[in-house]
Amino acid sequence: MGSCHETGPKLIRCKAAVCRVPGEPLVFEEVVVAPPKAFEVRIKVICTSLCHTDVSYWRSKEFASSILGHETVGIVESVGEGAEEVAVGDKVVPMFQPNCRKCGPCRSEKNNLCDAVQARSFGMPRDGTSRITDAAGASLTNLFGISSFSEYTVVDVASIVKVDPKMPPDRVCPLSCGISTGLGAAWRVADVEAGSSVVIFGLGAVGLAVAEGARLRGAAKIIGVDLNPNKILIGKKFGITDFINPKEIGEKPVNEIVKELTNCGADYSFECIGLTSTMNEAFRSSKNGGKTIILGLDVQGSLCINTQELLFGKTIVGSILGGTKVKVDIPIFIKKYLDKELQLDEFITHQIGFDEINKAFDLLNAGECIRCIIWMDK
């Protein structure tokens, strides 16, 4: 372990929670984590959390024999050639969207999709392979080049952000995906302004982070739509002013209620669930000239849009990580938290040990938690 020079980093044997059968509990196995290649960094995972995207992929047969997990924070254990922007011992947050800072999209203010180091669902961004094998030597599918449900993992240097050591690991962990997606969507994609109206479909970590972003921008009305009545209380902490439960409104479509609560529709409409039905409803809830932002992942989905509505200036856009430019924005989010401007504590509803990781799936699926922190050493 340690420096990559002279003898170089060795293989590491450690514990990982492996998805063997889609939709079945993860299985603990000893795995072998290869040393970092060029432009890669091996990290010791401190903690990880469960995002709904992990759950969607956990159910997909493409992820049989995989290591899931992409919200995490860790300590750099060894550094590959060309990855010296971080050093052994640094606290870092891996992000599934790389940010090389040199290519056209990285230099553009309007695009966060690095094209020099491209994000992938499977494998390391530069070559699509995995650095983790099982005890029999078979390669385990790597999610997003992160695979954080392992005590050690390897990530690309373009995908990691060095973290202020003062930042508590459990508070920074969900910034690795869900919370940054919501904040970025409110600030970068929508650019919500004071006095505007916002509707958010789905009040998980992503949707509540949109609310937090809209609250901090001074939005006048922030309408939350969720089937789970428990989201009313937590939503209020993030500035939700009105709550719609689609189960409690009879035959009336949600968009009609949004139009009644706003001046003929919301200025900004966010879909944070991952269903084409709620994406359509989000679009219908936006006013003429309004913007709909799709953040939810629907693995099979396709949308049918009324093109006349487009003529009235309505726009619809999707976004990876809410347009967050990770090396620029994550340090800003962290500073806002340390300055007590941004609320992060309220997102962390549960804390468990690595051995209990399957409980995190039960909690998220039951709608009982926003983010569950899974500590590797507990």
Binding site for ligand NAD (CB under 6 A): 51-53, 56, 177-178, 181, 201-207, 225-228, 231, 246, 272-275, 278, 295-297, 319-321, 364, 367
Contacts of 52 (CB under 8 A, 6+ apart): 178, 204, 206, 274, 297, 364
- Binder of residue 376, out of Zn ion, ligand NAD, none (CB less than 5 to 8 A by kind): none
- Binder of residue 241, out of ligand NAD, Zn ion, none (CB less than 5 to 8 A by kind): none
- Binder of residue 272, out of Zn ion, ligand NAD, none (CB less than 5 to 8 A by kind): ligand NAD
Instruction: Report whether 334 contacts 167 (CB < 8 A).
Output: yes
Nearer to ligand NAD, 318 or 338 (CB): 318
Phi-psi region of 316 (alpha: psi -120 to 50; beta: other; left: phi over 0): beta
Q: Which two tokens stand for residue 99?
A: 């940010």
Say how far apart CA 367 and CA 347 lie, in whole Å: 13
| CB-based closest residue to ligand NAD | 204
Nearer to Zn ion, 4 or 51 (CB): 51
Q: How far is the CB of 312 from ligand NAD (least distance, A)?
A: 26
Nearer to ligand NAD, 154 or 282 (CB): 282
Question: Which among 170-178, 266-274, 300-308, 321-329 is the span making contact with Zn ion, rule CB under 5 A?
Answer: 170-178
Indicate the angle between helix axes 276-285 and 254-261, nearest 10 degrees: 30
Nearer to ligand NAD, 152 or 187 (CB): 187
Question: Which among 45-53, 154-162, 239-247, 275-283 is the span making contact with Zn ion, rule CB under 5 A?
Answer: 45-53
Q: Does residue 378 sit in helix, strand or coil?
A: coil
Q: How far is the CB of 205 from Zn ion (least distance, A)?
A: 9
Q: How far is the CB of 178 from ligand NAD (least distance, A)?
A: 5
Binding residues for Zn ion, rule CB under 5 A, total 3
Q: Does 51 bind Zn ion (CB under 5 A)?
A: yes
Q: How far is the CB of 101 from ligand NAD (least distance, A)?
A: 20
- Binder of residue 285, out of ligand NAD, Zn ion, none (CB less than 5 to 8 A by kind): none
- Binder of residue 373, out of Zn ion, ligand NAD, none (CB less than 5 to 8 A by kind): none
Question: Residue 270 phi/psi, 5° resolution?
Answer: -115, 135
Burial of 179 by CB count in 10 Å (0-12 exposed, 13-18 middle, 19+ buried)? buried
Q: Other C-beta atoms within 10 Å of 126: how many?
A: 18
β-sheet bridge partners, residue 71: 49
Q: Which two tokens stand for residue 200?
A: 């958010």
- Binder of residue 94, out of Zn ion, ligand NAD, none (CB less than 5 to 8 A by kind): none
Q: How far is the CB of 179 from ligand NAD (least distance, A)?
A: 9
Nearer to Zn ion, 26 or 51 (CB): 51
Q: How far is the CB of 350 from ligand NAD (least distance, A)?
A: 12
| Residue 198 exposure: Cα atoms within 13 Å on the Cβ side | 37
Nearer to ligand NAD, 220 or 227 (CB): 227
Nearer to Zn ion, 143 or 198 (CB): 143
- Which pairs with CB-CB distance under 8 Å and at least 24 residues apart come from 362-367? 364/50, 364/52, 364/55, 365/55, 367/227, 367/228, 367/230, 367/231
Nearer to Zn ion, 50 or 214 (CB): 50
Say how far apart CA 139 and CA 147 lie, in whole Å: 13
Q: Which two tokens stand for residue 22?
A: 């889609």
Q: State how far the alpha carbon of 51 is from the alpha carbons of 39, 46, 90, 96, 243, in Å.
A: 26, 17, 24, 12, 23
- Binder of residue 316, out of Zn ion, ligand NAD, none (CB less than 5 to 8 A by kind): none
Q: Does 177 bind Zn ion (CB under 5 A)?
A: yes
Binding site for Zn ion (CB under 5 A): 51, 53, 177
